[in-house]
């Protein structure tokens, strides 16, 4: 298992669009991907599960993956979050 902490700096947090973008990116990896907020865990390949974390701007998350491409998955997803989901408006 590989994990990395990130902070949501985009204006909408992990709302519908960012959750969908995250899910699409996560789905391109074979590893199981989970996102944790405190004691709550979400399936990184499910937009609904991600949105249920209710993670707003400024929230710290732990992205973790386990599987053959776990390091690449976590690093790519952490980079996506740090780039604010490539959304200039968010």
Q: Catalytic site residues?
A: 15
Q: What angle do CA 26, 78, 72 make, to 5 degrees?
A: 60
3-class secondary-structure state, position 86: helix
Backbone angles phi, psi at 22, to 5 degrees: -60, -50
């Amino acid at each position: 298992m590989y994990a990395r902490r990130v902070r949501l700096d985009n204006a909408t947090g992990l709302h519908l669009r960012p959750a969908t973008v995250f899910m699409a990116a996560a789905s391109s990896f074979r590893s199981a991907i989970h996102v944790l907020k405190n004691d709550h865990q979400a399936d990184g390949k499910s937009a609904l599960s991600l949105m249920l974390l209710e993670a707003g701007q400024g929230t710290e998350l732990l992205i973790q993956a386990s599987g053959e491409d776990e390091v690449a998955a976590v690093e790519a997803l952490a980079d996506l979050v740090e780039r604010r989901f490539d959304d200039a408006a968010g």
